[in-house]
Amino acid sequence: MFRGLVLSVLGVDPGKHTGLALVELYHGAQKKPEPTGLVPNHSLRFRFGATVEEQDRATTIREFVVKGSDPGGQPLLVAAEKFTATRRTLQTQDTQALEAIGALKAVMELLGAPQEALELQLPSAAKTVVTDEKLRQMGLLDKTSKLDVHGRDALRHAVFRCVTYVRTP
């Protein structure tokens, strides 16, 4: 049983195939303590996730931000993978990640979400801390088995944001 919604977090894996995952962080454990120790005295609940193509990106991001925003005043935080544009990356990689982050920022601004709600995370940080094994132990991997690699990476960013939120004094 979940008690006391603390916040919702939208995780975003930006790119040509943009992954999105919405999780909720609750105060208090469910029936047993969270087994990984990543979010002590809290529980996580996966709400929904998707991977979207470029043409549907802004509309779907908007839907996720609206669904994740709580009219009761609980904050929505957004955690997205950071993409650093360098001469090399701009010559060798698609710029879809930058475009996805731009769409995310625009949607947040249009909906009145504060820019401080967005945290850009290094991919290695989320993948190192929130491994598939940790997701499995938390009971999130089975619920999200329909997510592809982009949706799962988005879930990783959302969970990592919850970890940093809980551990920040």
Number of domains in the chain: 1
Burial 17-42 (b: 16+ CB within 10 A, else e): bbbbbbbbbbeebeeeebebebbeeb
In this prediction, residue 1 has a pLDDT band, given cuts at 50, 70 and 90, of very low
- Cα separation of 169 and 160, whole Å? 16
Q: Write out pLDDT tens, residues 120-133.
A: 999 899 999 999 99
Domain that holds residue 77: 5-167
Biggest CA–CA distance in the chain, Å, is 51
Pairing of strands 42-52, 18-27: antiparallel
pLDDT in the model for residue 75: 73
> Which pTM was predicted?
0.88
* CATH number of the domain bearing residue 51: 3.30.420.10
Res 32 pLDDT > 60: no
Confidence of residue 113 (pLDDT cuts 50, 70, 90): confident
Model pLDDT for residues 97-109, shown as the tens digit of each residue:
888 999 999 999 9
141-165 pLDDT per residue, tens: 776 667 899 999 999 999 999 999 8
